[in-house]
Structure 1
């Protein structure tokens, strides 16, 4: 009689964000009975910092999903088990097989769990993330448990399977998160796309080539989908007369609430305001757009020049780029500026930052800013991009708000609010004329930034936006 040795391997919720304790399962991409391969993404989870796709670190058949979509799971808890097939042989030889299977599990020092958007995690966490149990069974395909399926519904099957869909077990097509987002916006089933990237990875060029092969009239709909994508998911809003609506406080919103409370009651906030004539800045923005001198695909906006003005002001007054070290009772002036940009996403407010933003040219800053905003809108900002910020900009003007009193991002000394740009009557060259005007608000930690330093920084930013040519001479 022929038998087969199978090992049940359990994959635990990893720490995907430097010390986070839990994550919510947003969606499962597999179901019991599906065949999975090493590196295949099996689910997407949301931590307090970002949404992350988790790849399985071994081959096999899905045995069980331990939690449904929407469940919040502690780090280190088993979320999926996979039956790993061993060598088949005669029945008498099956007995010693378990002993041979155990060393096989230990002989994987090079196996690393790689999270999307991160490098490989080293150390013993990979071994802790799974447990091996060896069983002996007759080599008969095991049907998926009927009761387990409703707990984790699989994605709807595509209408027309493509060559990629022929991978055993319906393996999910390989593509990076931005490419998946683009495919969703374009309405393209990834399983219908022929990959040309390394190891069968689908690229943006593959999507554009696939889209070009479709009917031309579909283009306007694509344009609209791209524009409307960021607004696709919104929090439930109570409807008059329909009763109360309760929204669970978890994920990004929970982390934001905790951080803001800690900041407000730890750092003594001071906020200063100034109105600025930004007519020249708005003209400069239009000139940069029309000339394309920063690059054809580079998005140019007033926020770009506000960011450059703040970075220039910090270069003139580096003491504001600092942190309060309570334990050492020291003020730490940072060697580089990691510029945070507050981004409102469907999952809540996050503040990713541009590393060493002060050393970037205007063109380099524009590229980094565009990538940061696009990744944040897709909900794919890696936790590393939200750590180590030193100063932040919040653009409340996009909501039509003139200004506000921004709360410091924890650990930072200053945050600048950029208000709406409005046409107002303004005294210019001795005459009252219509000018483009905005209001800036700078909040700072009064323990390490006194009124003089805060005022100088805010005045410099205002002067640079009123006369943007100074960005060149002062920088």
Structure 2
């Protein structure tokens, strides 16, 4: 399993595109894996025949662990087996130590396995990865003695602690035996810790303590992967797992503040209709989100301190020169936040094209880890679900996130008269360590003013 970017430690096998016995070629897509950030296609790094799939669909595999074995073309598959160790020198690290050693009579594993260094072929990422592998535990010629206590539990090399089925007597001094009688402890049930397998006073006291009661189940009595009637369990992996961890970390590490404003966006809605008719926007999708994004970018240009992150080790605020605008996108794999690099330097036409491409790529599941790295501020459009507003949680590492509610026709006082107008709600959450109430309020008020009077979208400063 290669490092597909951003230093991720594991990935989930989603679907194999090859099977044992298939001929594969260098660069051919062989498997799709899901990381904490994206769905990635992994190509085969050499020509040959698949001899073994070392991970099943749905498995979570650590970076550096072997997932497939490929041998040179023409290799004969062993009869009665599904795979064999690859003979190709380029792929030998993918299936190192897969053939078990012949077992010795009644083997017992040695205490410490030996280590060896291997170089794992990386399919995509940053070149050859050096990992530390472990050999299979070696077998000893003579099995260690296994003595069993009266309750049937076995401990290698440990003497029994009391009278057992074979008639052995517990090793204990007279005072310890008296203590056991006084406390009602059967020495045969005590695990000895003294020299030579003798039972000590501490052993007796430990045996006399009542066993801790089993903790009640937090939700239900079912175990992982099990279901009961009336419920359905969804494994939390990949993007869902990363999102859950990131949101918990953000919610409990950054002091969130959320402010709201309700805005008359009737003129913005009219401008969207006009832009859709222009030839420059013929190949892009123009929606109110485009003008919301433009308004936020202009507001950040006026108040750059909100385009920042918190450096915890150095206790510093890092203000970013470039604005990488994240757009929260709901996909079948969960919520992801790809971002438009240097969005503040783009024209309205370029911004529309970037938004269109970003959304299409996310819906197709083709968003790469690089597309989601380095965001500085985020917009989440909850209005597409008919929701009026919310209190969004910050994307980790960012100082602010803007939520856009549904645009609804509502009665509104306009030029001294009550008229039906297009109205929406904006809510801005920000990290109060970096953004105080004044800065947050000014940014939100600027965005609202530009959406109410969209001509201001094209005036900076």
Same-fold call, TM cutoff 0.5: yes
Task: Confirm or deny that 1:472 pairs with 2:450.
Answer: no
Q: CA deviation at 1:291?
A: 2.2
Q: Secondary structure at the match of 1:265?
A: helix
Distance in 2, Cα, partners of 1:358 & 1:101: 50
1:170-229: per-residue Cα shift (whole Å, max 9, x none)? xxxxxxxxxxxxxxxxxxxxxxxxxxxxxxxxxxxxxxxxxxxxxxxxxxxxxxxxxxxx
| Dislocated runs of 4+, deviation >6 Å | 103-106, 127-130
Match of 2:163 in 1: none
Match of 1:331 in 2: 317
Task: Confirm or deny that 1:257 pairs with 2:261.
Answer: no
Match of 1:414 in 2: 400
Which of 441, 444, 450 is the equivalent residue of 1:458? 444
Task: Confirm or deny that 1:274 pairs with 2:261.
Answer: yes
- Which gives a bigger RCO, structure 1 or 2 (Cα 8 Å, sep 6+)? 1
Match of 1:441 in 2: 427
Which of 14, 20, 36 is the equivalent residue of 1:48? 36
Q: Contact 1:29–1:42 (CA<8 Å) still a contact in 2?
A: yes
Distance in 2, Cα, partners of 1:274 & 1:292: 34
Taking the TM superposition and a 5 Å limit, the aligned residue runs for 1:56-455 are: 56-85=44-73, 115=124, 121-125=125-129, 243-294=230-281, 296-455=282-441
Q: CA deviation at 1:101?
A: 7.7
Structure 1 residue runs without a partner (length 5+): 1-12, 88-99, 116-120, 131-240
| Shift in alpha-carbon separation, 1:47–1:103, aligned structure 2, 3 A | closer
Q: Contact 1:76–1:129 (CA<8 Å) still a contact in 2?
A: no
How many residue pairs end up in the alignment? 331
1:94-125: per-residue Cα shift (whole Å, max 9, x none)? xxxxxx9869999xxxx99664xxxxx34433
Q: TM-score, normalised by structure 2?
A: 0.68
Q: CA deviation at 1:46?
A: 0.5
Q: Contact 1:17–1:47 (CA<8 Å) still a contact in 2?
A: no
| Shift in alpha-carbon separation, 1:252–1:104, aligned structure 2, 3 A | closer
1:342-368: per-residue Cα shift (whole Å, max 9, x none)? 000000001111111000000111111
Which of 13, 18, 22 is the equivalent residue of 1:34? 22
Q: Contact 2:32–2:41 (CA<8 Å) still a contact in 1?
A: yes
| Shift in alpha-carbon separation, 1:247–1:414, aligned structure 2, 3 A | same
Distance in 2, Cα, partners of 1:104 & 1:424: 66
Q: Which has the larger radius of gyration?
A: 2
Structure 2 residue runs without a partner (length 5+): 76-86, 94-119, 134-227
Q: Contact 1:14–1:129 (CA<8 Å) still a contact in 2?
A: no
Match of 1:172 in 2: none
Q: CA deviation at 1:16?
A: 1.2
Match of 1:16 in 2: 4
Q: CA deviation at 1:395?
A: 0.2
Q: Secondary structure at the match of 1:260?
A: helix
Q: CA deviation at 1:70?
A: 1.4
> Which stretch shifts more, 271-280 or 371-380?
371-380
Q: CA deviation at 1:474?
A: 2.6
1:42-62: per-residue Cα shift (whole Å, max 9, x none)? 010111111000001000000
Q: TM-score, normalised by structure 1?
A: 0.66
| Shift in alpha-carbon separation, 1:45–1:102, aligned structure 2, 3 A | closer
Q: CA deviation at 1:22?
A: 1.3
Q: CA deviation at 1:264?
A: 0.5
| Shift in alpha-carbon separation, 1:129–1:313, aligned structure 2, 3 A | farther
